[in-house]
Amino acid sequence: MQISPLHGETSVGSYSPETNTVLKRLPLILIFHCYIKVARLLYEYYDPMKDCGLTEPLGVEDGTIPSDKLIASSAYKKYTAQHGRLNSTSGWIPEYLNQNQWIQVDLDDVKSVIGLVTQGLSDGPLWVTSYKAIWHNNDTTFHVILNENGTEILKGNTDQNTEVTQMFQSTIYTQFIRICPMEWHIYIALRFELLGPRPGFYALGVEDGTVQLTASSVYDNNYHVDEGRLNTQPDENSGYGAWVPKSNSQGEWIQANLSDVKSVIGVVTQGNPYSPLWVTSYSVSWSDNGINFTFVENVNGTEINTLSSTITNLGFVKTIRLLMPLWILSPTLRQDLKTGNS
């Protein structure tokens, strides 16, 4: 799979006279085939990173995060915040037993955080059964993190040593994470680790149907926009396996409408699976409100293209639109969006 950066001027794909001759003999209906697929990648409804093990600890447990970056509202004797690391031989215990207690980690810079792992006290039957997680970047504006079900209360532990993982509803970009115990067994006691995305590419949900697709036009009902998902195949009951626009004009486009702002770092494209038709270059534009669009750069029609600047700001893209200025006989394209850490 070739990886190319999204930067520079528009590139026009080349094709041989032999390929061109073959295309001239294709049935007219194939000339209108235009595949576009966008796959869903991030961390919302279903989390591919959690289910595929594509997470990594951010350094609480192994000491990468130094002790002075762990602080707490209070501490009981030797059970300070510095002992609140996952799998430590003790744990953090606050001096006071109320819902105003917290433990906080400073990541030293803004990082992508997608989940939490908690334990109870190592040397006693004490643990937190539920908690809230809060993020902030300036010590004044606090934001409550939601779990995968969209609720503020995160599930804690049922014993002192079993690790319990809670994935967030969406990726958090923050320097500070604060854990606030809400309920506990006997007394508040906690050990924890933060989880971030492991470097790599992950699909955003166009292919599996999670992400909604819209387009500038549709040729007819057999080539509706949902046929433009990556790896769609012809089906006599649902369609001909491709989205086709009404005309072969450069103003045609297809776009993926993400349910919320997402981190998008790349686009994967394919041509027609049964015919030598493909887009040789396309333009990418993005929007955080679905109305005002900003162009990134034009790119080659290669299999996977990495956005040079991850579309300005990770986590602030809601709509991705592909426009097709150049193609072989017909704008034929299947595509997927990618997220993760490059």
Instruction: Give CATH superfamily name and number for 55-197.
Output: Galactose-binding domain-like (2.60.120.260)
Phi, psi of 117 (to 5 degrees): -125, 130
Phi, psi of 21 (to 5 degrees): -65, -45
CATH 2.60.120.260 fits 3-45+203-341, yes or no: yes
Phi, psi of 251 (to 5 degrees): -85, -5
d(CA 231, CA 203): 13
Give me the residues of the chain with pLDDT under 70, please. 1-54, 200-202, 236, 238, 241, 261-263, 265, 272-277, 297-316, 324-342
Query: Would you state the pLDDT for residue 312?
Result: 35
Query: Would you state the pLDDT for residue 282?
Result: 75
**Digit-coded pLDDT (tens) for 103-151:** 999 999 888 899 999 999 999 999 999 999 999 987 778 999 998 788 8
Query: Would you state the pLDDT for residue 227?
Result: 83
DSSP-based three-state secondary structure for 178: strand
State the pairing for strand pair 3-6/304-307: parallel
| End-to-end Cα distance, the chain | 15
d(CA 36, CA 226): 9
Q: Are 160 and 119 in contact (CB under 8 A)?
A: yes
Element (H, E) at 29: helix 28-31
Domain borders along the chain are: 3-45+203-341, 55-197
Query: Would you state the pLDDT for residue 316?
Result: 53
d(CA 248, CA 226): 19
Query: Would you state the pLDDT for residue 159?
Result: 98
Domains 3-45+203-341 and 55-197 share a fold: yes
